[in-house]
Structure 1
Amino acid sequence: MSLEISRRTLIRSAGLVAVTAPLVACGDSKDPARGGGGGATAGEDLLAKGKRQGYLRVAIANEPPYTKIEPDGTVTGAEPDIFRAVCKLLGIKDIQGTVAGYDAMIPGLNANRWDAVTAGLFMKQSRCAQIDYSEPTVVSTESFGVKKGNPKKILTAADVVKNKDLKIAVIGGGFEEGILKGKKVPGGQLLPAKDGRTGIEMVKSGRADAFFLPTLSLNDLAKTDKDFEVTAPVTDVPNTGAGSGFRKGDAKFVEAYNVQLKKYKATPEFDALMKKWGFDAEASRKATKAELCKAEG
């Protein structure tokens, strides 16, 4: 079948070429369960498939520092870089990335449009019930992007709950939207933003009073835009964290992946990668999937 990829571009890492035509995703006649694009043979698991074809397909966002697409099309950012490094330890040479909305990542994974999600898709109860995460790769906090001086004094989720007049921009299907909905913030107070830049422009133009996003993502946006400010990490929401996401049926691969991930997290290379993207390597080593999957939403 044909997959329409509006707002999604197939990017192949390490200088791979962007494809603007629709991605064709057809089930392999020998093994329909493995889905399209991978050419899996009957009975072939994900590890064998990746080794044979030399890559795995991943869903990414374009939200630095979690994921980033370089001008030459290279897929990078903390999550894809970690995934690529661990895949190499497993004997898989590279990755191919497809940009997708957060709300489309799990449905696309379970429809076999990609083999994994490496996008900073934060763990929470509903997601952990649908897919199998690796152990954590990144751990983060949440903040609000607000106008200079924070005129509405928005510092916590409780502030949003108390003031029904506030309008908060959130990325549709994102973890932050789920946090606020879980705190019973009415849907009419939440305004969908398609990406980080859009959310900030909504605040600057007055359409939204704040933009709720991971602290590191807002700090990255603030590097090139000084017309808004980032609040201190919000104290009444849980710390967030992500790992790579896989289909429930790929448990064997996840087990092998976690073995190599643990080894990689003990290396100086991991510490350097985390420092490059602004994450705390030790926080990643201490966090567990079981802990992060308890997050409501």
Structure 2
Amino acid sequence: MAVGIPLADWLSGCTFTEPGTGAPKGSVLDRGRRQGYLRVAVFNEPPYTKLEVDGTVTGAEPDVLRAVLQQLGIGDIRGARIEYDAMIPALKSGQVDVIAAGLFMKQSRCAEVAYTEPVIVSTESFAVPPGNPQNITTIQVVLDNPALKIAVLPGGFEEGILIAANVPQSQRVIVRDNVSGVEALAAGRVNAFLLPTLSLRGMAEVNKSFEVTDPIEDAPATGSGAAFEKSQTDDVAKYNQVLAEFKEGQEFADIMQKWGFDADAALGVTAEELCKAEG
């Protein structure tokens, strides 16, 4: 798995935040223009985010973020791999300036960060053993069979889906990354691995040990955009103005197509709608 530039290396010598004060004050866009980049939290989960071996960050969300920021006078982004459950704390403490990692919107997250309008609208699926012997196709199937164990990433949207559906903790198995989830499935420690459909399909292209179910009918609609610190509402509004025009253009369509997403799926869907998802 590729790794990004160590976060500590970026922060050494920086004085964006006084100890104990949390995220730096003032306009994050102005700060980005001064320093020439913004620091972005990602996870290295293609097609949402991808960290190259040289530390370059790409993927659907970072590519859109970079393009919009360039129109706002910020030259580039620098990515750090941060696990999903640590992203919002890293943002609020000032370790990063923005999250662009497929961090799907839901009530609890929208209460803590300022999301831009969505660029990705996604579905969820299960990775299951070949033939899907337990016929795991919906969340209700999991609820109906207490013996089933489902792997999820810590703090991920998928863990929130199970919690909101009252799937018992005994059925939820935490794995640290995508590789660990597939390994747990292959070893029989779990019966399924819950992730976004496109993530699983991308993994299945190179790993034939599992198959991917159709999108889950009773999983909530979800999507993501960039997430900024809660005080940055004015900058988010400026970002959204540029993003709205960008989403209507060919470059946005090209980025979405490159990473396997439908550009039209994000048109007409609002952050306000997606933030109503439970969890």
Give the TM-score of the pair, scaled to structure 2: 0.94
Q: How far apart in 2 are the matches of 1:157 and 1:97?
A: 34
The structural deviation recorded for 1:21 is: 5.4
Instruction: Give the aligned partner of residue 73 of structure 1.
Output: 55
Please say if 1:289 is aligned against 2:271. Answer: yes
8 Å contact 2:149–2:171 — kept in the other structure?
Answer: yes
1:70 and 1:210, CA in 2 relative to 1: closer, same or farther beyond 3 A? same
Q: How far apart in 2 are the matches of 1:222 and 1:20?
A: 34
Q: 3-state DSSP class of the match of 2:38?
A: strand
Give 1:94's match in structure 2, choosing from 73, 76, 89: 76
Instruction: Give the aligned partner of residue 189 of structure 1.
Output: 171
Q: How far apart in 2 are the matches of 1:47 and 1:112?
A: 14
Give the aligned residue type for 1:136.
Answer: P
Q: How far apart in 1 are the matches of 2:17 and 2:256?
A: 41
8 Å contact 1:197–1:221 — kept in the other structure?
Answer: no
1:10 and 1:71, CA in 2 relative to 1: closer, same or farther beyond 3 A? closer
Instruction: Give the aligned partner of residue 212 of structure 1.
Output: 194
The structural deviation recorded for 1:73 is: 2.2
Give the aligned residue type for 1:98.
Answer: A
Instruction: Give the aligned partner of residue 99 of structure 2.
Output: 117
Structure 1: tracts of 5 or more residues without a match: 1-6, 12-17, 37-42
Instruction: Give the aligned partner of residue 233 of structure 1.
Output: 215
**Greater displacement, 44-53 / 75-84:** 44-53
The structural deviation recorded for 1:227 is: 1.4
Q: How far apart in 1 are the matches of 2:18 and 2:131?
A: 61
Please say if 1:168 is aligned against 2:150. Answer: yes
The structural deviation recorded for 1:197 is: 1.4
Please list, as runs of the form range in 1=range in 2, the aligned pairs for 1:16-55 lying within 5 A after superposition: 23-24=11-12, 27-28=15-16, 35=23, 44-55=26-37
1:26 and 1:268, CA in 2 relative to 1: closer, same or farther beyond 3 A? closer
Instruction: Give the aligned partner of residue 134 of structure 2.
Output: 152
The structural deviation recorded for 1:19 is: 6.9
The root-mean-square deviation of aligned C-alpha atoms, in Å, is: 2.2
1:20 and 1:246, CA in 2 relative to 1: closer, same or farther beyond 3 A? closer
The structural deviation recorded for 1:71 is: 2.7
Bigger RCO of structures 1 and 2 (CA < 8 A, at least 6 apart): 2
Instruction: Give the aligned partner of residue 136 of structure 1.
Output: 118
8 Å contact 1:65–1:278 — kept in the other structure?
Answer: yes
Give 1:251's match in structure 2, choosing from 233, 243, 260: 233
8 Å contact 2:49–2:102 — kept in the other structure?
Answer: yes
Give 1:224's match in structure 2, choosing from 202, 206, 215: 206
The structural deviation recorded for 1:181 is: 0.8
1:271 and 1:33, CA in 2 relative to 1: closer, same or farther beyond 3 A? same
Q: How far apart in 1 are the matches of 2:91 and 2:128?
A: 34
The structural deviation recorded for 1:239 is: 2.0
Give 2:245's match in structure 1, choosing from 263, 267, 285: 263
Give 1:127's match in structure 2, choosing from 101, 109, 112: 109
**Greater displacement, 18-27 / 266-275:** 18-27
Instruction: Give the aligned partner of residue 43 of structure 2.
Output: 61
**Greater displacement, 68-77 / 58-67:** 68-77
The structural deviation recorded for 1:72 is: 2.7
Please say if 1:106 is aligned against 2:88. Answer: yes
Aligned length, in residue pairs: 279
8 Å contact 1:25–1:35 — kept in the other structure?
Answer: no
8 Å contact 1:84–1:95 — kept in the other structure?
Answer: yes
1:174 and 1:31, CA in 2 relative to 1: closer, same or farther beyond 3 A? closer
Please say if 1:203 is aligned against 2:196. Answer: no
Q: How far apart in 2 are the matches of 1:96 and 1:52?
A: 15
1:222 and 1:20, CA in 2 relative to 1: closer, same or farther beyond 3 A? farther
Give the TM-score of the pair, scaled to structure 1: 0.89
Q: How far apart in 2 are the matches of 1:110 and 1:25?
A: 19
